[in-house]
């Protein structure tokens, strides 16, 4: 099993190209099930989750053609991939595939809308909370789906097609918003989704669906309106930049010091996180085609944050910000409101010397003058990269184990950091 070995202490200087967003790529790929024409996605990142979803889509009959370099070590040119679901050969998404990645459950929306039926295993994924599927089920039922759960599978039917309706989510859910929006594109009549997720990835999916012929307004706000159409066509769409990757590298610069330009990204995708970084003492400015992050040798200032749905502070950057605060000159508090079990990285940061205490959903971080390298264990995707950030600033050697979590969401991480002066390498046993 691969490990990441880090020798800390080097500032970061140079340019880091930001990849296409994993959280946008996955629903965009799934949208290919809605049409028998070809959907072409540009700027698709090369990640384990993307490869896994390709296998799942292939199981349904999607033909996939990759253009561009494929190997992780190759240059930063993003891939272009063609998805053609001319014939859906199977409307079942089996346990052995869905259990490996939660987002694969989202195929239920397009399959139900296009084929009138879907049998999808209850999902798996990171162990960062319960994340129940009731929001998905109730939303699809509002569109007329008949749903029953049997032997670990959700069996959904709409033999006469889905019908537009007004549905209000009891709580904000990005995944459920994706699914209901995709399903509603082929429903009869008008669908209005209230309390919809406002994340940039939702707006990106809506832009792609619109290019495919869907009639969608309001994406990026709390109310999304979809006028159903009889069919969708193919389209060409570029995946938006990964705001979580952007924030992660920005926090790495703030922690190690240095001067890095994050290319092919935009600050409006993560304004709240960048405000927190500035408060912590980093100099963050917009430049043509990206963001420049600088941090001198001054102290890291403590900043309190609360995670919230967009446009709030992203839960997917909470672990990284905690790593940064572990070196702050003072005490910071982080309140996690999205997932109830997303502090598993705390004990691993403590192995590096961080002083963190937990009380319910609040973490109190007493900044320390130095961290010291150690063996640590990744517990989930975002926690794993927080350990990399901490290792970059720690004295001596840090080894991050179970890095398959990293491969799910960060493209060519070692290469990007090494080119900016970090001492990071992948070690294979």
Specify the higher pLDDT residue, 267 or 69: 267
Q: Would you give the DSSP letter of residue 131?
A: -
CB 87 within 8 A of CB 61: yes
What is the structure's pLDDT at 77? 58
**Six-digit token pair at 389?**
């950030």
pLDDT at 74 over 50: no
Query: CB count, 10 Å around CB of 215?
Result: 14
pLDDT at 208 over 60: yes
Q: Is 173 annotated as a binding residue?
A: yes
Catalytic residue among 39, 41, 56, 126: 126
pLDDT at 131 over 60: no
pLDDT grade for 68, boundaries at 50, 70 and 90: low
Q: Which helix (H) or strand (E) holds 176?
A: helix 174-184
Residue keyed to tokens 């938006």 = 240
Cβ neighbours of residue 344 closer than 8 Å, sequence gap 6 or more: 127, 128, 379, 380, 383
pLDDT at 366 over 50: yes
pLDDT at 126 over 50: no
Q: Is 338 annotated as a binding residue?
A: yes
The structural domains of the chain, ordered by start, are 3-19+241-427 (3.65.10.10), 22-238 (3.65.10.10)
Q: Give CA separation, 403 vs 7, 192, 285, 292, in Å.
A: 16, 41, 31, 28
Q: Is 131 annotated as a binding residue?
A: yes
Residue keyed to tokens 């790593």 = 323
pTM here is 0.94
pLDDT grade for 71, boundaries at 50, 70 and 90: very low
Return the SS3 of 387.
Answer: helix
pLDDT in tens, 139-173: 999 999 999 999 889 999 999 999 999 999 999 99
* pLDDT (mean) for 367-371: 97
Q: Is 179 annotated as a binding residue?
A: no
From the list 103, 111, 157, the residue with the least C-alpha distance to 133 is 103
CB neighbour burial string for 304-324, b if at least 16 within 10 angstroms, e if fewer: ebebebbeebbbbbbbbbbbb
Catalytic site includes residue 126: yes
pLDDT grade for 124, boundaries at 50, 70 and 90: low
Provide φ and ψ at 334, rounded to 5°. Answer: -120, 125
Q: Is 188 annotated as a binding residue?
A: no
Strand partners, 377: 401
């Amino acid at each position: 099993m691969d490990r990441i070995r880090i020798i800390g202490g080097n500032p970061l200087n140079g340019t880091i190209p930001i990849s296409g967003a994993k959280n946008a790529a996955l629903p965009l790929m799934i949208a290919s099930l809605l049409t028998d024409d070809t959907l072409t996605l540009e700027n698709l990142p090369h990640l384990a989750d993307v490869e896994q979803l390709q296998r799942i889509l292939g199981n349904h009959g999607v033909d996939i053609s990759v253009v561009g370099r494929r190997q992780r070590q190759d240059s930063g040119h993003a891939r272009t991939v063609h998805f053609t679901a001319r014939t859906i050969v199977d409307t079942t998404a089996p346990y052995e595939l869905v259990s490996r990645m939660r987002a694969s459950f989202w195929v239920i929306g397009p399959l139900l809308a296009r084929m009138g039926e879907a049998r999808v295993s209850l999902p798996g994924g990171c162990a960062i909370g319960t994340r129940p599927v009731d929001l998905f089920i109730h939303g699809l039922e509002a569109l007329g789906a008949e749903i029953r759960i049997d032997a670990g599978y959700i069996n959904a039917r709409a033999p006469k097609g889905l019908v537009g309706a007004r549905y209000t989510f009891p709580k904000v859910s990005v995944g459920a918003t994706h699914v209901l929006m995709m399903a509603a594109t082929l429903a009869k009549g008008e669908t209005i989704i209230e309390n919809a997720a406002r994340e940039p990835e939702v707006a990106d999916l809506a832009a792609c669906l619109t290019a495919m012929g869907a009639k969608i307004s309001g994406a990026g706000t709390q109310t999304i309106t979809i006028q159903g159409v009889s069919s969708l066509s193919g389209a060409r769409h570029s995946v938006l930049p990964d705001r979580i990757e952007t924030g992660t590298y920005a926090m790495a610069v703030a922690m190690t010091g240095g001067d890095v330009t994050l290319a092919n990204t935009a600050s409006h995708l993560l304004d709240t996180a960048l405000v927190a970084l500035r408060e912590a003492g980093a100099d963050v400015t917009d430049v043509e085609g990206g963001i420049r992050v600088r941090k001198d040798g001054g102290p890291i200032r403590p900043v309190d944050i609360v995670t919230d749905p967009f446009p709030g502070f992203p839960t997917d950057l909470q672990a990284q910000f905690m790593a940064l605060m572990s070196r702050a000159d003072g005490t910071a508090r982080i309140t996690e409101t999205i997932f109830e079990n997303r502090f598993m990285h705390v004990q691993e940061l403590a192995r590096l010397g961080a002083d963190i205490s937990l009380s319910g959903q609040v973490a109190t971080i007493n900044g320390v003058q130095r961290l010291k390298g150690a063996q640590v264990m990744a517990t989930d995707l975002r926690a794993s990269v927080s350990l990399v950030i901490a290792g970059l600033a720690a004295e001596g050697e840090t080894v991050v184990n179970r890095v398959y979590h990293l491969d799910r969401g960060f493209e060519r991480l070692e290469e990007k950091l090494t080119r900016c002066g970090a001492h990071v390498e992948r070690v294979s046993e």
